[in-house]
Amino acid sequence: MKKRLVALVLAGAMALGMVGCGGSSEKSADTSKESSESAGASELVDGKFSETKHITVEVYDRGNDGGTDPTDNMYTEYIKKGMLEDHNVEVEFVAVPRWTETEEINNLLASGGAPDICLTYSYPTIQTYANMGGVTDLKPLMDQYGSELTNLNDWLGDTNIYWDLDDEKGTLWAIEGKRANNRRINTFMRKDWLDKLGLEEPKTKEEFYEDICAFRDNAKELLGKDADKMVPFSVSFDVGWRAALLIESEMDPDITDKEFYINGFDDRKLTQNGTKEAMKTLNKWYNEGLLWNDFALYTAGDSTEDDMMKAGYVGAFQHNWDYPFRGGDDSIQANLKRIVGDDAKYVAVDCFENSKGETLKYVDSTAGDRKIFFPTTNDEPLASLLYLDWISAPEHIKYLQIGDEGVTHNVLDDGAIECIAATGDPIMNSGNNIDYTITCNGLSLGDDDLTLLSMAHSYPSCDPADVQQALDYAATNNKIAKNVKVPEVVAENGMGEALSSKRDVVFDTALAAKPADFDKVWDQGISDYLSAGGQAIMDERTEKFEAKYGSSTSVE
């Protein structure tokens, strides 16, 4: 009855156009719910409920070729068995498509059918439904049960647990998962192509440009009969992510916390100073035949670009710091070697220098990962907290990340863990099984030295030296984002998905414009973005920052 009632309330609110409205946030825990929680706590004996509880947990479905059912495999069974034995809680997994997760979570929340434990990368989605009474305030729950959640506290600490705490209202709508290894993005280039053309790995933007020009001009030598398929530098429809290091190299390395925050609603840095100059460079490269001509036609989840990389047609790209190594025997690197030859491979390069000559990279803090929240249709908040605590235990993170010795990993003479390609049920659908270790993103073996020793060996079918180079470059000249603690920015509510889509249009159309039209196309696109809600967000962010920090441009 409760779920149906909440669904009707949310659906009615959406019909009235309340998604973008900024109403006051009310605590979701009413008296009857608090009584229920107290009763739940009294039912625990040695950490176990006297009566079996049942919870549902979101898991991403990545649609991997050759992958397993994300809701039913050896790792879900490990979790189910452990939760039942340790807490008498039955766990049921609910699959949500990874590449449309924000839209799907919106639909599930609006219908009242969301899992008890939800996660999303979109905090504005959570805030929108929190304002509509659809998200549970976790602060009272943490106040009541936090001291008993030792694994969760030890792993996340106050930084990640209370990262999203509203200091003014005292509400906590989400808990931030932790980035175990704070690396973000790299540039990758075909090492065998560089060698064949007698070129060095680039150290500057100009050298990178010269190299991709050489790829284009020597397509026949490099690809033979497939020369027409050459893509010197591949950038997808998500330009702000896939050209991030170029964009960041054009930004002021001394940018203030205030300016970065005001322009920071969009994590692709659309409105940051310097982005237009970076895009002008990409526009020039596009019109010189250096970029993937059809980049804007294939959206998230489409495999066309990865397939081109695997087949050996792409000379360079920017992506997640370990992207070509992910996927075991189906990784880009493994396929490239299998299809093209033993020498074919991508290596990380570090070449996008800023005005100070530094290859500065903007990275999130340990927070900024998946946001974990409970919809108000969750009738088992204590059981759900115990789930988060259970999966945060070091031994459970370790098993979920490396599996069984001899099946998914070997132990080397120096103690390092070497992951090996698995087949059948032991296959992991995501790197380090991060879809199950939702409080942990990145390898964590319970010992920092062992983790660092093992990271380069975590990618089956890939040379550990190549992985180590990627690790080192991704950790070079990093600038960690600050947590700007201001009250809720009401103008952001409900705008995340809409402005993200408009942002991609701005990037894509400007990149592919004729050089003579670039300024006009870019300026018009930015004007449309700002008038669609971007300017209101920036204005309110300015107001809230100044109210909190006064005349200071720093959060410290």
CA distance 184 to 364: 8
Q: Are 403 and 426 in contact (CB under 8 A)?
A: yes
| Backbone phi and psi for residue 465, each to the nearest 5 degrees, phi listed first | -65, -35
* 299-325 average pLDDT score: 96
What does the pLDDT look like over 192-217, one tens digit per residue?
A: 999 999 999 999 999 999 999 999 99
Q: Do the bridges between strand 53-61 and strand 89-97 make them parallel or antiparallel, or are there none, so unpaired?
A: parallel
* 395-400 average pLDDT score: 98
What does the pLDDT look like over 256-267, one tens digit per residue?
A: 999 999 999 999
The pLDDT score that the predictor gives to residue 40 is: 53
Give the lowest-confidence range in 199-203, 242-246, 284-288, 488-492. 488-492
The pLDDT score that the predictor gives to residue 26 is: 41
Q: Are 540 and 490 in contact (CB under 8 A)?
A: yes
Residue with the bigger pLDDT between 22 and 249: it is 249
* 294-316 average pLDDT score: 96
The pLDDT score that the predictor gives to residue 414 is: 93
> Residue 185 carries which side chain, given as an amino acid letter?
I
Give the lowest-confidence range in 296-300, 354-358, 509-513. 296-300
The pLDDT score that the predictor gives to residue 192 is: 98
Q: Which domains does the chain have, with CATH numbers?
A: 40-180+368-447 (3.40.190.10), 185-363+482-549 (3.40.190.10)
What does the pLDDT look like over 405-441, one tens digit per residue?
A: 999 999 999 999 999 988 899 999 998 999 999 999 9
Nearest to 376 by CA among 92, 114, 13, 176: 114
| Backbone phi and psi for residue 291, each to the nearest 5 degrees, phi listed first | -115, 165
pLDDT band, residue 182 (cuts 50/70/90): confident
Q: What is the 3-state secondary structure (H, E, C) of 285-316?
A: HHHCCCECCCHHHCCCCCCHHHHHHHHCCECE
On the question of pLDDT at 18 being above 50, the answer is no
pTM: 0.86
| Backbone phi and psi for residue 89, each to the nearest 5 degrees, phi listed first | -120, 125
| 3-state SS, residue 242 | helix
CA distance 421 to 428: 9
Q: Which residue has the tokens 């069974």?
A: 77
On the question of pLDDT at 6 being above 80, the answer is no
What does the pLDDT look like over 116-175, one tens digit per residue?
A: 999 999 898 899 999 999 999 999 999 999 999 999 999 999 999 999 999 899 999 999
What does the pLDDT look like over 439-495, one tens digit per residue?
A: 999 999 999 999 999 999 999 989 999 999 999 999 999 999 899 999 999 999 889
How high does pLDDT run on average in the chain? 92
Distances (CA, A) of 482 to 182, 353, 374, 477: 14, 22, 26, 16
Nearest-10 Cα torsion for 457, 462, 465, 466: -120
Q: What is the CA angle 425-429-435, rounded to 5?
A: 115
Counting residues of the chain whose pLDDT is more than 70, the rounded percentage is 92
**DSSP codes, 52-107:** -EEEEEEEEE---TT---TTSSHHHHHHHHHHHHHH-EEEEEEEEEGGGHHHHHHH
316 forms bridges with which residues in the sheet? 189
